Amino acid sequence: MPQVTLVEAVNLALARAMADDAEVLVLGQDVGTDGGVFRATVGLLERFGPERVIDTPLAEQLITGMTIGMAAEGLKPVAEIQFSGFGYVCIDQILNHAGRMRHRTQGRISCPMVMRTPCGAGIHPPEHHSESPEAMFAHIPGIRVVYPSSPRRAYGLLLAAIQDPDPVVFLEPTRLYRLFKEEVEDDAKPLALDTCFTLREGTDITLVTWGAMVHETLQVASRLEQEGLFAEVIDVATLRPLDMDTILASVAKTGRCVVVTEAPRSGSFAAEIAANLAEHGLLSLFAPVTRVASYDVVVPLSRLEAAYMPGTERILDAVRKCLAFG
């Protein structure tokens, strides 16, 4: 079984989906000749031709509009927006057209599209290249928001997103693109959407996170284990619709919860999870739900990037306070 990086797993899933279904195509700036800004689509043009691997102008609204139109006509387009910070102009069409297509047509037309976009900080890029916009997309009714955290989950979840009959925003953590490798079998098997993945079993505290922050959160869980404390680590993976049952069941077991996100604190998706726990899991809690997030500022340039994002020490500090409460 080959060891691949996360970005190679994305490429593997795209190639598999296109080989198995002639209706699947990819489009976006530089996805063809250049193989994508991070090389996620490298080799697809040579293998599937220019009618299924379409280089577009640098015009995100055009890319989104074409994608919605193709999906409404029965194709299964996968669009690439080079960085999520350039995806805000796409929200108008995603919110007003893609997300409403099934409802507006009373179920006659669906919108089987995927919008892939790299996101998150940690690779020292300039502004607009490090955003964490998952809460904005998760607020839009009618779409799924998927955020893989490893090569294996990127492969399986992208296959599932492409097969989904409704629109999916697929957020890819740039920091993890080439951070580590994992065995990924190109077996065409999708992973389940709309469900959390429990990465570690534990009894003392529940750590909930997604995307790149899964990496630091697992490191914290390993450090806690050396002290005889066992953290349950949950990778949310699909933010909308949210699998709250898995999180509630875990908190019922541990009684404590820290939610970790790379996005700015105010209005983050961590707040949604904390609110759900307060509403439906209050009697299970021994301590207030704690959020560890980035700061409510524009993502800084490279010199301050590490101070902006939650690191293991900030997560560990929050965990210790949560464990000490009461």
Position 206 pLDDT exceeds 80: yes
pLDDT at position 207 is: 98
pLDDT at position 144 is: 97
pLDDT at position 274 is: 98
pLDDT digits (tens, 9 = 90+) for 73-83: 999 999 999 99
The closest alpha carbon to 291, from 323, 266, 259, belongs to 259
pLDDT mean over 193-200 = 98
Confidence band of 234 (pLDDT split at 50, 70, 90): very high
pLDDT mean over 224-251 = 98
Structure tokens given for 110: 């669906």
pLDDT at position 72 is: 96
pLDDT at position 278 is: 97
pLDDT at position 222 is: 98
pLDDT digits (tens, 9 = 90+) for 133-162: 999 999 999 999 999 999 999 999 999 999
List 103, 124, 129, 139, catalytic entry: 129
Beta-carbon contacts of 190 under 8 Å, excluding residues fewer than 6 positions away, are 156, 157, 159, 160, 163
Instruction: Assign 3-class secondary structure to the chain.
Output: CCEECHHHHHHHHHHHHHHHCCCEEEEECCCCCCCCCCCCCCCHHHHHCCCCEEECCCCHHHHHHHHHHHHHCCCEEEEECCCHHHCHHHHHHHHHHHCCHHHHCCCCCCCCCEEEEEECCCCCCCCCCCCCCHHHHHCCCCCEEECCCCHHHHHHHHHHHHHCCCCEEEEEEHHHCCCCCEECCCCCCCCCCCCCEEEECCCCEEEEECCCHHHHHHHHHHHHHHCCCCEEEEECCEEECCCHHHHHHHHHHHCCEEEEEEEECCCCHHHHHHHHHHHHCHHHCCCCCEEEEECCCCCCCHHHHHHHCCCHHHHHHHHHHHHHCC
pLDDT digits (tens, 9 = 90+) for 247-293: 999 999 999 999 999 999 999 999 999 999 999 999 999 999 999 99
Confidence band of 326 (pLDDT split at 50, 70, 90): confident
128 as an active site residue: the answer is no
pLDDT at position 151 is: 98
pLDDT at position 217 is: 98
pLDDT at position 158 is: 98
The closest alpha carbon to 111, from 80, 156, 142, 146, belongs to 142
pLDDT mean over 34-49 = 97
Residue type, 69: G
Confidence band of 124 (pLDDT split at 50, 70, 90): confident
Q: Categorise residue 89: left if φ over 0, alpha if ψ from -120 to 50, beta otherwise.
A: alpha
Residue type, 195: T
Q: How many CB atoms lie within 10 A of CB 3?
A: 11
The closest alpha carbon to 182, from 218, 209, 208, 206, belongs to 218
Position 126 pLDDT exceeds 80: no
Position 192 pLDDT exceeds 90: yes
Confidence band of 128 (pLDDT split at 50, 70, 90): confident
Residue with tokens 């961590």: 270
pLDDT mean over 14-25 = 98
Please give the distance of CA 200 from its chain centroid, rounded to a whole number.
Answer: 19
pLDDT at position 165 is: 96
pLDDT at position 127 is: 76
Q: Rounded mean pLDDT of the chain?
A: 96
Residue type, 269: F
d(CA 83, CA 26) in angstroms, rounded, equals: 16
